[in-house]
Amino acid sequence: MKRTIPFLLSYLFLATLLSGQTTGHTSFDLHSVPGFLQMPEDGNVIQPTGVAVNSAGHIFVFNKGNKQLMEFGEDGSYVRSIGAGIFKDPHGLRIDRYDNIWVTDLVSHMVIKLNPQGQVEMVLGQNGTQGLYEEGRDMVLFFKPADITFAPNGDLYVADGYGNHRIVQLNKHGRFIRTWGKQGPEAGNFDNPHNIIYYKNRLYVADRYNSRIQVFDLEGKHQASWTNVGKPWGLAVSPEGNIYMTEGDAEQILKLDPDGNILGTYIAGPGAAPGQLRAAHGIAVGLNEELYVTEVLNWRVQRYDQKWQRGPWHRIDATGCAHYRHESAFAEVNGKFYALGGRNTHTVDIFDPETKSWSQGTVTPLEMHHFQSIVLDDEIWVVGAFTGPYPKEEPIAFLHVYNPSSDSWRIAGRLPDGRHRGAAGAIVYEGKIYLLCGNELGHYTGHTTWFDVFDPKTGEWTTLPDAPHTRDHFQMAVIDGKLYAAGGRNSSAKTNRVMEQTIAEVDVFDFATNTWTTLPSDLNLPTLRAGTTVVTLDDQLVVMGGESGSQVSAHEEVEAFDVKKNRWNTLHPMLEGRHGMQAIKYNNRVYIAGGSSNRGGGPETKTIDCWELKR
């Protein structure tokens, strides 16, 4: 009977978690990669507690063996040992955005910063001295500090966990700013704040023995307590905004969103077999959102690859590294895919669908974003794009062309005088480039109905009849000699209505008659949104993803207008919502890369998802 009750409670807990996965989120499926980290002949991992990943994808492990801080390559190969003789009782490990290495030590009661080369650059606390603060030296003291995280301005937040049960905030130079919390169950107090992470102006604290995650603003004001997570040991957050938690008592890994909703759970169960866990402690997220978990009792670090699947959609487990990007483009030339553009992104990323690998090309001539790339004569054209920061982005006047075979850029002309704009729709039809609508001044104002055609052979622009509706942040396509413009909005930061003014109507241009029509109102786009991408499947215009003022998360809807049957069909939703990206149809599949998973500017993604079409 004593075994039955815990089993029943575990079953009910699992059922609760799994029930949360039926609300439109993808399942959380992890697969262990046995023996991924290749140990040096003269070193072992002993009671590992901390793990972190730097910007190059290298994995760092903090443990109590003879090589206490080890670095491994992205492929798991051993690289080096760092900090010999410095550490007494390794615990927390984090790497900041500059690839500096930060550790916490329980016996020395210190937080230590090492630069990427492994030299000590800063020490916080006093070696072997526990306490709160030393007035004479004007320095903060700790009592078994457990973890550290960083704000974008450089401020440091230390989870002074095992002894002082508080959070300590310091500036980037280590000067004390404030502290909050003491031992206790009340909101804002702690019983071993064991891990701490930063995400979007919020701090998430693993309040281990109070069995909750507490959320604070950057000044320590309590925002929320998540009491549905069990006993949190380790925390990590991906750039996509997924929060991962190890539960070292129940031997589970939880996946949550920034609001505390459980997106999934991986129940490893106790054991030493691959995938099982014993005292799951620290956790880190790799460049492809793979997970690394330290096990204190099994003396190992496991790598878990996520298997993303949702209906006909799946995430490709790619090798190599792509860049995070949104408001970007994606185009296919001769069997290779090219991701280019995006805010603050200059490198061209090249994906080979046969080898499922990324490589890098040259850089763009300037920052370019908010455009629908087009392919003409095995070159990728950027027409009707923006450059510069929000909200008054400037249209790019020149037509920039990328040649994949030479990995080079050239200029092929200019936009027509007086008709410069970005966030416009662009297509190639019968060897000519068509540019529709867009904004003259970024997100601020300047909606247009302009419609122009460019002849690459002559370098001349011709003005065509204006569209029935203004729109920006949309893409368009041609089916059977007719151009279809669906989705988009009238962005207006000038009136504080950037997201709200979505366009319901579908406008159609007939190339044969040189005229526009608008579909009847009962054939409006079913889900109003902008920042969408489109492909054509036989007689259907397929509109995917997007953003709107109606929800924070990016849209996952996939809706198809059948031009023959004159109706909209709802298709299977995307693997996850995205906006500000472009889709490629290739070999009976649809591929999507980049984009943002929430409305606005982030979090950016770099993953590539594939939709397997029915044959």
**pLDDT tens for each residue of 473-500:** 999 999 999 999 999 999 999 999 999 9
What is the third-level CATH fold of 313-612?
Neuraminidase (2.120.10)
DSSP SS3 for 306: strand
- Output 6 or 278, whichever has higher pLDDT: 278
> Is-contact 100 94, C-beta < 8 A?
no
pLDDT reading at 515 higher than 70: yes
- Amino acid found at 42: D
Structure token pair of residue 434? 């068509």
Structure token pair of residue 91? 């615990």
> What is the pLDDT at residue 614?
83
Other C-beta atoms closer than 10 Å to the C-beta of 555 total: 27
> Any residues with CB less than 8 A from the CB of 389 and at least 6 apart, and which?
none
Distance, CA of 180 to CA of 175 (rounded, Å): 16
Does the N-terminal peptide bond of residue 239 adopt cis geometry, omega within 30 degrees of 0? Answer: no
> What is the pLDDT at residue 26?
44
Alpha-helix residue ranges (DSSP H) falling in 341-402: none
DSSP SS3 for 346: coil
- Amino acid found at 283: I
Distance, CA of 5 to CA of 609 (rounded, Å): 42
- Which of 93-97's residues contact partners 24+ apart within 8 Å by CB, and which partners? 93/49, 93/50, 93/51, 93/52, 93/60, 93/61, 93/62, 93/69, 93/282, 94/50, 94/52, 94/147, 94/148, 94/149, 94/150, 95/52, 95/53, 95/54, 95/60, 96/150, 97/55, 97/150
- Amino acid found at 339: A
> What is the pLDDT at residue 308?
86
pLDDT reading at 16 higher than 50: no
| Whole-number average pLDDT of the chain | 94
> Is-contact 243 236, C-beta < 8 A?
yes
Closest CA to 310 of 593, 530, 571: 571
Model confidence over 412-461: pLDDT tens digits? 999 999 999 999 999 999 999 999 999 999 999 999 999 999 999 999 99
pLDDT reading at 23 higher than 80: no
Exposed, middle or buried, 178 (CB in 10 Å: 0-12/13-18/19+)? exposed
pLDDT reading at 45 higher than 60: yes
Other C-beta atoms closer than 10 Å to the C-beta of 366 total: 13
| DSSP class of 429 | E
Question: How does 570-600 read in b/e, with b if 16+ C-beta sit within 10 Å?
Answer: ebebbbbbbbbbbbbeeeeebbbbbbbbbbb
Distance, CA of 482 to CA of 539 (rounded, Å): 11
| DSSP class of 393 | P
> What is the pLDDT at residue 615?
66
Question: How does 119-157 read in b/e, with b if 16+ C-beta sit within 10 Å?
Answer: eeeebbbbeeebeeeeeeeebbbbbbbbbbbbeeeebbb
Model confidence over 546-557: pLDDT tens digits? 999 999 999 999
Domain spans of the chain, in order of start: 313-612
> What is the pLDDT at residue 513?
98
Model confidence over 153-206: pLDDT tens digits? 999 999 999 999 999 999 999 999 999 999 999 999 999 999 999 999 999 999
Distance, CA of 22 to CA of 474 (rounded, Å): 30
| Structure-token match 């400037």, residue found | 394
pLDDT reading at 396 higher than 90: yes
pLDDT reading at 19 higher than 70: no
Model confidence over 447-460: pLDDT tens digits? 999 999 999 999 99
> What is the pLDDT at residue 28?
78
pLDDT reading at 18 higher than 50: no
Give the strand order in the sheet containing 176-180: 147-150, 156-160, 166-170, 176-180
Helix/strand/coil percent split, the chain, to 5: 5, 45, 50
pLDDT reading at 9 higher than 80: no
Model confidence over 518-548: pLDDT tens digits? 999 999 999 999 999 999 999 999 999 999 9
DSSP SS3 for 13: helix
